[in-house]
Amino acid sequence: MPEASPTGGSGASRGFVFAASGAGYTPVAAAAAASLREMCPGAQIDLFTDTPPAGAHPFDRIHPLEHKTHRPKFEAMLRSRFDLTVYLDNDMIFLADITDIFDVLERHDIAAAHFETRASKLANQVRSFAVPAAFPQINGGLMGIRRSPATTELLERVQKILLDEGGMDQPPLREALFLSDLRLAILPVEYNMMRLWVLNSWRRSQGAPRVLHLRKLQRHLRDAEEAQRAFNLRRLVHPVVRARIQALLDDDRSLEGKRKRTVSTGPLKHILRRLGLI
Q: pLDDT tens-digit profile of 93-118? A: 999 999 999 999 999 999 999 987 77
What rounded mean pLDDT belongs to the chain?
Answer: 87
pLDDT attached to residue 2: 38
* In the chain, where the domains are located: 12-278
Domain 12-278 sits in CATH 3.90.550.10: yes
| Burial environment of residue 185 by CB neighbours within 10 A (0 to 12, 13 to 18, 19 or more) | middle
Q: Which residue has the higher pLDDT, 158 or 230?
A: 158
Beta-sheet strands, E only, within 205-256: 211-213
pLDDT attached to residue 217: 85
Q: How confident is the model at residue 6 (pLDDT cuts 50, 70, 90)?
A: low
pLDDT attached to residue 267: 63
Q: Which residues have C-beta within 8 Å of that of residue 71, sequence separation ≥ 6? A: 21, 162, 169
Bridge partners, 186 (sequence order): 112
pLDDT of 191 > 90? The answer is yes
Tell which residue, 178, 176, 112, 108, has the closest CA to residue 146.
Answer: 108
- Cα angle value 232/142/207 (rounded, 5°): 70
d(CA 53, CA 58): 10
pLDDT of 276 > 60? The answer is no
